A and B are shown apart, each in its own frame.
Chain A
Amino acid sequence: MTQIERIISEIFGIDEDRINGDLRRNVDPEWDSFNHLLLISQLESELGITFTMAEVESITCYEELLGAIGKRGIQ
């Protein structure tokens, strides 16, 4: 499991096999609005990065999340 996958699994309480392109915000019950903010906080503090507010609002799925992280040079 990558660091990102571990954080997601911890916060959403889901297994590794569910962390893929199908994981969607506000669709999967674990990825609700509060867990979204929690996930962002945790990624920021563990990876040492900062998202903009617009990004936080626009991310709707796992791929977009990885994209926003990737922009900061983290795979």
Chain B
Amino acid sequence: MTYIRKKVAEKQSIASFFGNYRKHMNEGTKSERGELQKVRIAILTSSTIKGIQEVLFEKCFAEGIEAEIWIGGYNQYRQEILSEGSELYKFHPDLIFINIHLKSLLGEYYYDPYSLTERDRREWVSNTMGEVSGLVSFLKNHSSAKIILHNFQVPDYSPMGILENKQPFGLIKSIKLLNMDMEEVYQSDNQVFVFDFDRFSSQLGKFNIRDEKMYYLGDIQIAMQYIPDLCEEYLGYIKPLLSRSKKCIVLDLDNTLWGGIIGEDGIAGLKLGQTPEGKPFVEFQKYLLALFGRGILLAVNSKNNVDDAMEGIEKHPEMVLREKHFAAMQINWDNKAENIIRIAKELNIGVESVVFIDDDELNCEMVHESLPEVLVVCLPEDPAQYVRRLQSISDFNTFQFTQEDVERGKMYSEQRQRSIYEKTATSIEDYLRGLEMEMTIEEMNEFNVSRIAQLTHKTNQFNVTTRRYSEEELINMQNRGALIISARVADKFGDNGIVGVAIINRGASTWMLDTFLLSCRVIGRKVETALLSLITEKAKVSGVKKVEGEFIPTSKNRPSHSLFEDHGFELIEEFENYEKWVHYLEIPILAPAFIKTVFLEKPEGGKLNDAN
């Protein structure tokens, strides 16, 4: 068995997991491959989930992960959590799954909930939530592990039958409320995650996952053939913990994004649209677009003539994904594995964070053979099943979601369009003029202060002094009279965000550049000239005679070394690791005509409070 999944939907029988597990326990895991990533997983449960140890171990192993799994005793979860010297804490888990079955909490009332009064039921819900959150708090104080808490399976039976939802605070409603409470409590907790076990059991069917016979014979709560599905859900938490989340989906075009072969069938012959044959492709694209929206990069890898493929992408009226959604495109007749390496390089990501989706089994095999670290998802024969196959990939999970994730896909594809455009421009001036740049300079305020601090910490190349400042330090400097400005640069391809910072100490006769930096995203676009021009202009208006700048060399800031010389500054001091330059304001620094500059003063009331 290969250890990277070839096909996501390949379903293994539970028996084969056991066979492999036995083999690994007898012969060890060393012989098959080198270093495995290690993870320690604790599972606390109120019942027996037989088989989970074997299957989870094998599923992890198939991903290149060596899992050490510890399973708490039958219904011992309270003791394990509440005693500091318990086996649980001695085990030092990285992840703790807590699976408490409703039956074990409700006891006899599980069978006859209406022997309780409405008041008792309300009290039960609040007590249960109190107990669970108390246990979790104790756990949080004693372990830094990520805690994955199962919610409760909402009962599918009520003795009240059709009148169940007429009962005040009925059984089913009370469990639903308990689940909602649980989600609410841990909404913004980044250590505790609620696993929607009710969704999981509904998806597979509550009738299916409960095997009554096995329950009576062995107190088995989840029928054995569904244990692999539960473990797959668990992997959705294990993979992001080990930073194994996938970042980019590389897609084939023909019979993947649309039905048919564009080079042969032509754009009009493609199956894509509101017909039974066309709809699966439209919906498949819509789901990809939703993944793009959560920060997953999309790329194209297709054997086609560029013109044919681009016509399909840009001109077909039913396409959901357009050129702007793709961070990279490799459309050629080269080997697809080679193209994936190029895409990863262009996007500056590792090949191991790529998912490759293709309908052609031979292509899938070839990519898998040459790049085993890529997750290859071979589409099923029937396009009707495409969306499901896509939804079954649990490799995009992360424990955090930021605004940067939302913007990522867009920024990458804009960058790609810029570089295509750069290749077509005949001269650098021609290129810069065509970019239609607009620079917005803003005084530091509560909205840009964190980005300004971040840039002083992250920027190494185009940074003349490399001085790092915290938000508090910046606020103090501003309050003492420094002019602190950020520069946002947009062009016809999109917004680059805030990419420049200048900090100027304003003296009576001299303005001193304490900091002058640009993000590497905009180096070589004359943004520095526009920014210097604006600063010197402001200095002149304020009545000073000169602007001074310093250059402090580091191992990385060579790209900014000639900044002052290029803009007509004179060198007035020079030591081994220090240069001081001056510019007299009689001679203006001319802003490039192709950058439109807007200056926004700090708005009234936008003053930041003194950090002292």
Contact = CB atoms under 8 A, between A and B. Distances in A.
Given A13-B19, A13-B22, A53-B216, A37 B50 contact: yes
Interface string B31-48: 000000000000000000
B18 A41 contact: no
B211 interface: yes
A42 interface: yes
A38 B15 contact: yes
Contact of A10 (B15, B218, B223): B15
Nearest to A52: B213
Nearest to B211: A41
A19 B97 CA distance: 39
B211 A53 contact: no
B217 A41 contact: no
B contact face: mostly helix, strand, loop, or mixed: helix
A10 B224 contact: no
Interface string B312-350: 000000000000000000000000000000000000000
Nearest to A43: B15
Contact of A42 (B13, B216, B218, B220): B13
Chain A: interface size category: 10 to 19
A7 to B, nearest CB: 6
Nearest to B13: A42
A42 B211 CA distance: 13
A56 interface: yes
A56 to B, nearest CB: 6
Given A37-B220, A53-B216, A45 B18 contact: no
B214 interface: yes
A33 B51 CA distance: 13
Contacts of A42: 13-15, 224-225
Contacts of A33: 218
A37 B19 contact: no
B385 interface: no
Contacts of A53: 213, 216-217
A47 interface: no
B16 interface: yes
Contact of B224 (A41, A56, A57): A41
Interface of B: 13-16, 18-19, 22, 50-51, 211, 213-214, 216-218, 220, 223-225
19 contacts: A10-B16, A10-B18, A11-B15, A11-B19, A13-B19, A13-B22, A34-B50, A37-B50, A37-B214, A37-B217, A37-B220, A37-B224, A38-B224, A41-B211, A41-B223, A45-B13, A51-B213, A53-B216, A56-B213
Given A37-B218, A53-B213, 19 more contacts: A10-B13, A10-B15, A11-B15, A13-B18, A34-B50, A34-B218, A37-B50, A37-B224, A38-B14, A38-B51, A38-B224, A41-B211, A41-B224, A42-B13, A42-B15, A42-B224, A51-B213, A53-B216, A57-B217
Interface of A: 7, 10-11, 13, 33-34, 37-38, 41-42, 45-46, 51-53, 56-57
